[in-house]
A = this chain, B = another copy of it.
């Protein structure tokens, strides 16, 4: 079995950011993405005592380390502080 090592970047965030983030993903050079509608609660920002319920999206991007870093840098400087956003990375073997 021949696999290619790639990164799976998962972005869980507010529905309203979808189109903005997709522009960033394309600009960084990614060749595709998947969006799932999810529900979630979490702490964020100043409201650490609340478990707010909200309609979120999970955006997944399969990409190289470089493209992954570019997307993360962009999201960090534009959204991470002011919006509910969770970002994480996993190693995957792509067929």
Contact = CB atoms under 8 A, between A and B. Distances in A.
Number of copies: 3
Interface of A: 1, 3, 6, 8, 12, 22, 26, 31-43, 51, 56, 58, 62, 69, 72, 75-76, 80, 86-95
Given A36-B38, A38-B35, A1 B72 contact: yes
A89 B86 CA distance: 18
A69 B80 CA distance: 28
A7 to B, nearest CB: 9
Nearest to A92: B88
Contact of A42 (B31, B36, B56): B31
A22 to B, nearest CB: 8
